[in-house]
Structure 1
Amino acid sequence: MNFALILFLLLVATGALWFLDRFHARKLRAAGAPNPWWVEYGASFFPVILIVFSLRSFVVEPFKIPSGSMIPTLLVGDFILVNKWTYGIRLPVINQKVIDINAPERGDVMVFRYPADPSLDYIKRVVGLPGDRVEYVNKRLSINGQPVPIEEVGAYLHPDRLYYSPQFTERLGAVEHSVLIERDAPAFIPQVMNFPGRENCTYTSAGVSCTVPQGHYFVLGDNRDASSDSRVWGFVPEQNIVGKAFFIWFNFNDMKRIGGFH
C-alpha cells in the first residue's frame, strides 16, 4: 500500500473542498447557517492532512521494524523515526530530489525502497559508497582493500528465541556499532539474484567482492547471517533513498529502547 500516494490524494480532495468553501460556497450560505456535510467531513480535515503530509514528506516519517535483519541495533517491533531531509529534499510520491543537502555516509542506518520491489521499504546500514570496492569474504568486511576494524565483545541473547549469537563491535568511519556474526553459518552467499550491476561483483565459496557503481550504495544488515541485503539483491540506487533512521520512539515490549542509536 502506497500510503504517501493515499495521503496525497486525500490532501488534493480535501484541499479542493476547502478552497471551494472558502472562496465560493461560504459566501452563498445564509448568516448563521450550519456547515453542509461536505464541509464538516471534507474541507475541515484539510489543514490537519496538510500538516501531516508536510511533516511526513519533508521532515520525519515513522516506520516499524518488521524483521530481525538489523539486530542488535534495531529489534522487531521498534518504531523508528526517519529524517527525510538530511540526504536532500525530495518531491513526495515520485521521490524526485529537488534540493541536494548531504550524501549517505558509511555507517548510516538508511531506509530505502527495495530495488527489486520499490513498493517495499527496507532498512540497512550503509557500507559501500559510489566507487568503493567492498569485500565480504570469510565473514570479514573490507573496503578498498582495508579491513574494517572489528572486535568481539561477548554474546548477544536473543530475547524472543533465547539463544546466543557472537557479538562484535565494528567501526565504519566515525560510527561504532554492534553486529552479530554466526560462526557456524556458511560463508558463501546463497540465492543471489540477477540484479542490475551484478557484473561488478565476484562470488566465491568464501563470500563476495563488489565495486559499487556511481549513484549507488552497498548496504548490509547488522545481523549479518540473517539479512537479505546487497550481497543478495545488489546495490541501492540513489533515487530509491527515503531517509536516515535516527531515533527509536516506541517499542511495546521494552520502553527502555526509546532513544537514539548508531
Structure 2
Amino acid sequence: MSNASPARKTRAAQWAYVILGLLVLIFVVLGVMIKVYKVPSGAMLPTLVPGDHVSATRGGEVHRGEVIVFPFPENPEQLFMKRVIGMPGDEIQFVDGRPIINGFRVPQCRVGRYDWEGQRHELFLEWIGDHVYGVLLDGPVDGGTCEKDIDCSGMQSCRGGICGMLQGPWRVPPGEVFVIGDNRMNSHDSRSWKGGIGSGVPISTVIGHVGRIVMGGFSGRTGTPMDGPPVLPAGAASLGPAMEKCLKEKPAVTTPPAR
C-alpha cells in the first residue's frame, strides 16, 4: 500500500502534465523553426551531394558565406540551395569562377584534381570571413598572375591579379543577396538568371539557413555541419594531406572590404 498522500500524487501528476506540455511545445517549435530539405542537384558539389538531406533553420539575418534555401526567383515553386557571396551594395565579378568582391579576390588554396562523373575538376578551399568550404573549378585552372589586361592572353581579362574569363561586374541591389553554387562552372545561379543578365535573391524570401547534413551523401558525412571544416569528397582520400596543408595556411585577410 502506497504511503504517498493524495495531495503529493496530485502535485506529481500536475508536474508530469507540465513537463509533457513543455516537451510537446518544444517539438512544435522545432518543427516550425527547423526543416529538412533534399539536395536536388550537383550545383553545390563538393559541399552537398545530390540526395543529401540537410537541416535548415528559419529566421535570422543572412550572412555572407552561408548556404541558404530560397524559392528560385524565376519559378518560386522550385527551391534552390546556394551560397551567399554578395551582400547589398557589393560589386561582384568572377575570373574563371573565382570571386572578386569590391576589388578583393576571395582567397583560395588548390587542394588537387578531383573527377566527378567523368568530368575533371580542380578542388579548392575558399575562405570568406569565418567560413571555409570546398569549391570545384573546371580544370585545369591557369592561375596566371597579371597587373593589366594586356598581361593576359586571348579573351582573358586581369582582375584581382589573375588572368581568366571574366564574368560581371554586378552590383547587388538593396534588399538582395548574390548567390552562387560551389560547383562554380556547373551551377544555375545569380550569374545567369534573367536570361544571362544576372540577379540576386530578395532577402525577404529566404526560407532557411542550412545547418548540417542530416542524412545521406558521401560516406561519413552524415552530421557534418556547414560551419565546420570541409570534408573531402568520396574517392579523394589521397588529397587529405593537401587539404590539411591548405587549412593550416589560412590567409590573414578573408573578409572583403565594404563598398
Normalising by structure 1, what TM-score? 0.62
Gaps of 5+ in 1: 1-48, 88-102, 186-204
CA deviation after TM superposition for structure 1 residue 51, in Å: 8.1
The match for 1:257 among 212, 221, 225 is: 221
User: Which residue is equivalent to 2:245?
Assistant: none
Q: Tell me which amino acid in the other structure corresponds to 1:249.
A: V
Offset at residue 181 of structure 1 (A): 0.5
How many Å apart are 1:55 and its aligned residue?
3.5
CA distance in 2, matches of 1:249, 1:211: 35
Residues 50 and 118 from structure 1, CA distance in 2 versus in 1: closer, same or farther, beyond 3 angstroms?
farther
Relative distance call for 1:53 and 1:67 in structure 2 (3 A) is farther
| Corresponding position: 1:73 with 2:47 | yes
Query: Does 2:191 match 1:231?
Result: yes
SS in 1 for 2:127: strand
Residue aligned with 1:67, SS: coil
Query: Per-residue deviation at 1:255?
Result: 5.1
Amino acid of the structure 2 residue aligned with 1:153: V
Structure 2 CA distance, aligned partners of 1:222 and 1:181? 9
Task: Specify the code of the residue in structure 1 equivalent to 2:52.
Answer: D
Task: Provide the identity percentage.
Answer: 35
1:150 aligned partner: 108
Aligned-residue offset at 1:126: 0.3
Letter aligned with residue 244 of structure 1: H
SS of corresponding position for 1:239: helix
Equivalents in 1 of 2:94, 2:87: separation in Å? 15
Of 209, 215, 227, the match for 2:169:
209
Return the match for 1:173 from 122, 126, 129. Answer: 129
The one of 57, 70, 92 equivalent to 1:112 is 70
Compute the displacement of 1:140 (Å).
2.5
The residue number in structure 2 matching 1:28 is: none
Match of 2:191, SS?
A: helix
The one-letter code matched in structure 2 to 1:228 is H
Distance 1:50 1:56 in 2: 10
Q: Residues 120 and 56 from structure 1, CA distance in 2 versus in 1: closer, same or farther, beyond 3 angstroms? A: farther
Unaligned runs of 5+ in 2: 1-23, 142-164, 194-198, 228-259
**CA-CA distance at 1:254 after TM superposition:** 4.5
Q: 2:30 maps to what in 1?
A: 55
The correspondence of residues 6-21 of structure 1 with structure 2, limited to 5 A, is none
In 1, the alpha carbon distance for the partners of 2:166 and 2:182 equals 19
1:60-99, Cα deviation, whole Å (9 max, x unpaired): 00000010000000001101100113x2xxxxxxxxxxxx
Q: Is the 8 A contact 2:120 2:138 kept in 1?
A: no
> Is the 8 Å Cα contact of residues 137 and 209 (structure 1) preserved in structure 2?
no
Instruction: Work out the CA distance in 1 between the residues paired with 2:81 and 2:36.
Output: 12
- 1:206 deviates by 2.6
Secondary structure at the aligned position of 2:188 is classed as coil
| Structure with the higher helix share, 1 or 2 | 1
2:94 to 116, 136, 146: 136
SS of 1:181's equivalent?
A: strand
Distance 1:53 1:109 in 2: 25
When the two structures are aligned, how many residues end up with a matched partner?
175
Give structure 1 regions of 4+ aligned residues with deviation exceeding 6 angstroms: 49-53
C-alpha spacing 1:153/1:255, structure 2 compared with 1 (3 Å):
closer
Measure, in 2, the Cα distance between the counterparts of 1:117 and 1:52: 32
Instruction: Give the aligned partner of residue 212 of structure 2.
Output: 247
Q: Is the 8 A contact 1:114 1:240 kept in 2?
A: no
Which residue of 2 is the match for residue 64 of structure 1?
38
1:81-139 per-position Cα deviation (integer Å, ceiling 9, x unaligned) = 00113x2xxxxxxxxxxxxxxx2111101111111111111000000001111111343
CA distance in 2 between counterparts of 1:245 and 1:168 reads 21
> What is the CA-CA distance between 1:243 and the residue it aligns to?
1.0
